[in-house]
A and B are shown apart, each in its own frame.
Chain A
Amino acid sequence: MTLPWGRTFLMCPPEHFGVLYEINPWMHQEVAVDLDRARAQWDGLVDVLRQAGAEVEILPPEPNHPDLVFTANAGVVNGRCFVPSRFRHPERRGEEEHYAAWFSSHGYEVAALPPTVSHEGAGDALPFGGVFLSGYRQRSDAAAHAQLSRLIGAPVRPIELADERYYHLDLTFCPLDDRRALVAPDAWDTYGRRVVEALVPEPLALTVDETAGFCANSVVVGTTVVMPACPPRVGRRLEAWGFDVVEAPVGEFQKAGGACRCLTLALDVAVGPNV
């Protein structure tokens, strides 16, 4: 059965995108971003998502917030509840008010985490099997998950992200349907691997190289998997499972450490008894 979410996304055009600071191992300020190319790639991703049947809503870009394009880090959406991120790095904290304002003006109930914890939104919290898996250590705090669970009314299982290159869960995990997911076990600690093994009946385990190619940072719309680039082995398996794989190259954004999933925020997630 296809995922019950992933038909409506929030995205932010890359008007002010750039690598202006370095807060993950992928970012190098000396590597220039080709903004025209970035715009073209972003437009391409929007087209692919719309062709796959998704709706895309637009968050207005803001100067001085180059990473606002990565809307996956806006916060966690569950039903009509929105929990804005609390960023680990001060460089991104200015984004928080813009996300909160958009959701507030679109009729969401905005519920805030206490300022003492970090949590970087859907980038670190993906729904699967009736729970949210939530990455911690690199950007989000393990202590945040109990409070996040209370705010969104859904169980949250923290997974320790053991490799600093995969600083968000969405670089290591991608739900495909109700039984399957792309998983990058090398990026997790042993406990995290056991938790995912127990939760996902049919995982497609990515190799180290596939993970490094942002393979897991894909967007799934029904039976369409939108990937930044698809390794042949992964493509064959996905096709065998009945998925259509569409590549949407986002190389300019990968210079900042994000790909397709990072550029989108699903607005139609609903997990738990109250949504």
Chain B
Amino acid sequence: MAFVERVEVAGHIIDSLILAKVLDVILDAGADYRIVDVEIGRTSLDPSRAVLEVAAEDDDVLARLLDDLQVHGANRVAHSDARLAVADRDGVLPEGFYSTTNLPTEVRLSGRWVEVENPEMDCGLVVLPDGRVRTEPMHRVRAGDHVVVGNDGVRVRPLSKPRGATPFEFMTSEVSSEKPKDALVAEVAGRMRQAKARGAKVLAVCGPAVVHTGAAPHLARLVRHGWVDVLFAGNGFAAHDIESNVLGTSLGVRLASGDARAEGGHSNHLRVVNEVRRRGSIAAAVADGWLTGGVMFECVTHGVPFVLGGSVRDDGPLPDVHTDVVEAADAMRALLPAVGVALMLASTLHAIATGNLLPAGVEAYCVDINQAVVTKLADRGSHQALGIVTDVGLFLHTLADHLAPE
């Protein structure tokens, strides 16, 4: 249904069955509609009004249908082109700039609708000299860029919500605390298989709890078998992953036995961070044989790109950490194209940051033991988010057994 126009029909359209007729005419023509807006008059004297988005497979069908609809008083909503203003300073959007959503968005330029290439929320829309339109975060705008201002000539397409019986079929801020976990994990595995089959990438966003709960070897297994294409985390996750592989502890706790702190264990992560800094990068630590296992090791070995975003409280940090957060976000953006599934694994801050960058159509699975975190993640960012309240260790273990049995 590539060809879309909006029509408006107003007046006493309910009692006169005009609205019903208009909808029937659309369906009879083999086209489809979405009711964008409807106001029903309160009294018999009040007029009603409906705005419909009419979609047809081809332009001719749509043109004929629009003529038919006009007979019944449904007229095309006049669209104007988007208004553009020129940015006068680097890093500053023009006043009145259109602020984006993460939904699929189109901009009307010279009477033609142009699809925005990389939907991202809270950005501006920059029209390139060749007529393409991209979202750009504020700091990336350059003086002279043509930026969309106002709402005219911009339209967003809400994601269609498939109806169905399982939470996966209406994935909107669903939280799974009372749902059978094995079935959910099997579904996630299925979704990852589907994504990979259509050439989409899987992104893992990891918090340190992945390591603390002993789940890192399962995640490493998924990376090793090609189930993770991009990894985002912070200094903590990477440091503890390396600590656990070099010293057998995570934040000083022995992972094998669960023993409380080994002697001097609280400084273990500092020592491994220091050793990586001595070598210059995680990749260098792998190359000289000092780091021989774990998630970061598998990423380096299998060429899985990762972004480690820094924060104020980081120890070290590891040399790979982006200490400039704006730079970190840009590095994350650069890895997002083609991502179809995002696993948010026991991470609050990095998961929220990622959610803000993802287009709405990406399926996001937010796994955390804390329902509040899951709800918060699911409510933000992605429209296609499913929260799974469970221990991330159990989740990753089961997921890896589904996808990468060894």
B60 at the interface (CB under 8 A from A): no
B403 at the interface (CB under 8 A from A): no
Over the window 52-71 of chain B, the binary record of Cβ atoms lying under 8 Å from chain A Cβ atoms (1 yes, 0 no) is 00000000000000000011
CA distance A137 to B25 in the complex (A): 15
CA distance A130 to B43 in the complex (A): 12
CA distance A198 to B21 in the complex (A): 16
From B7-15, B124-132, B179-187, B264-272, the one touching the partner chain is B7-15
Closest chain A residue to B49, Cβ basis? A146
Residues of A102-141 whose CB lies within 8 A of B: 130-131, 136-137, 141
* Chain A contact patch, size range: 20 to 34
**Is there an interface contact between B21 and A191, defined as CB atoms closer than 8 Å?**
yes
B402 at the interface (CB under 8 A from A): no
B38 to chain A, nearest CB (A): 14
Residues of B2-32 whose CB lies within 8 A of A: 10-12, 15-18, 20-21
**Is there an interface contact between B20 and A145, defined as CB atoms closer than 8 Å?**
no
Closest chain B residue to A150, Cβ basis? B47
**Is there an interface contact between B21 and A146, defined as CB atoms closer than 8 Å?**
no
A156 at the interface (CB under 8 A from B): yes
B319 at the interface (CB under 8 A from A): no
**Is there an interface contact between B18 and A155, defined as CB atoms closer than 8 Å?**
no
CA distance A141 to B44 in the complex (A): 21
Residues of B within 8 Å of A137, CB to CB, are: 71
Name the 3 nearest CB pairs between A and B, nearest first. Answer: A146-B11, A142-B73, A157-B16
**Is there an interface contact between B18 and A153, defined as CB atoms closer than 8 Å?**
no
A149-B11, A153-B45 known; A159-B73 Cβ under 8 A: no
**Is there an interface contact between A155 and B44, defined as CB atoms closer than 8 Å?**
yes
CA distance A101 to B87 in the complex (A): 57
B390 at the interface (CB under 8 A from A): no
Residues of A within 8 Å of B12, CB to CB, are: 131, 145-146, 149, 155-158
Over the window 164-191 of chain B, the binary record of Cβ atoms lying under 8 Å from chain A Cβ atoms (1 yes, 0 no) is 0000000000000000000000000000
Over the window 155-169 of chain A, the binary record of Cβ atoms lying under 8 Å from chain B Cβ atoms (1 yes, 0 no) is 111111000000000
A253 to chain B, nearest CB (A): 29
**Is there an interface contact between B17 and A194, defined as CB atoms closer than 8 Å?**
yes
B311 at the interface (CB under 8 A from A): no
CA distance A74 to B20 in the complex (A): 31
Residues of A within 8 Å of B47, CB to CB, are: 146, 149-150
CA distance A158 to B18 in the complex (A): 8
Closest chain B residue to A199, Cβ basis? B15
CA distance A180 to B70 in the complex (A): 32
CA distance A167 to B72 in the complex (A): 16
CA distance A122 to B10 in the complex (A): 21
Residues of A within 8 Å of B70, CB to CB, are: 143
The residue in B11, B73, B75 that gathers the most chain A C-beta atoms within 10 A of its C-beta is B11
Interface residue SS majority, chain A = mixed
Residues of B within 8 Å of A131, CB to CB, are: 12, 15, 44
A259 to chain B, nearest CB (A): 26
Known pairs A157-B12, A158-B12. 10 more at Cβ < 8 A?
A131-B15, A142-B18, A149-B47, A155-B44, A158-B11, A158-B73, A189-B21, A191-B21, A195-B16, A198-B15
Count of B interface residues, CB-CB < 8 Å: 17
B8 to chain A, nearest CB (A): 10
**Is there an interface contact between A136 and B44, defined as CB atoms closer than 8 Å?**
no
**Is there an interface contact between B71 and A142, defined as CB atoms closer than 8 Å?**
yes
Residues of A within 8 Å of B45, CB to CB, are: 149, 153-155, 272-273
- Interfacial residues, chain A to chain B (CB-CB below 8 A): 130-131, 136-137, 141-146, 149-150, 153-160, 189, 191, 194-195, 198, 272-273
Residues of B within 8 Å of A150, CB to CB, are: 47
CA distance A191 to B71 in the complex (A): 14
**Is there an interface contact between B73 and A136, defined as CB atoms closer than 8 Å?**
yes
B396 to chain A, nearest CB (A): 58
CA distance A54 to B12 in the complex (A): 32
Closest chain A residue to B71, Cβ basis? A137
CA distance A49 to B204 in the complex (A): 87
A230 to chain B, nearest CB (A): 31
A130-B44, A143-B73, A153-B45 known; A158-B16 Cβ under 8 A: yes
A141-B73, A145-B73, A160-B72 known; A195-B15 Cβ under 8 A: yes
**Is there an interface contact between A159 and B75, defined as CB atoms closer than 8 Å?**
no
Residues of B68-87 whose CB lies within 8 A of A: 70-73, 75
**Is there an interface contact between B71 and A145, defined as CB atoms closer than 8 Å?**
no
Contact of A146 (CB < 8 Å), options: B10, B15, B72: B10
Residues of A within 8 Å of B10, CB to CB, are: 146
CA distance A143 to B16 in the complex (A): 13
CA distance A66 to B324 in the complex (A): 84
Closest chain B residue to A189, Cβ basis? B21
B79 to chain A, nearest CB (A): 18
CA distance A195 to B16 in the complex (A): 6
**Is there an interface contact between A155 and B15, defined as CB atoms closer than 8 Å?**
yes
Residues of B within 8 Å of A146, CB to CB, are: 10-12, 47, 73
A144 to chain B, nearest CB (A): 8
Residues of B within 8 Å of A143, CB to CB, are: 70, 73, 75
CA distance A168 to B11 in the complex (A): 20
CA distance A144 to B10 in the complex (A): 10
B84 to chain A, nearest CB (A): 30
B260 to chain A, nearest CB (A): 76
Residues of A within 8 Å of B16, CB to CB, are: 145, 157-159, 191, 195
**Is there an interface contact between A157 and B15, defined as CB atoms closer than 8 Å?**
yes
The residue in A150, A155, A156 that gathers the most chain B C-beta atoms within 10 A of its C-beta is A155
CA distance A273 to B75 in the complex (A): 29
Over the window 90-123 of chain B, the binary record of Cβ atoms lying under 8 Å from chain A Cβ atoms (1 yes, 0 no) is 0000000000000000000000000000000000
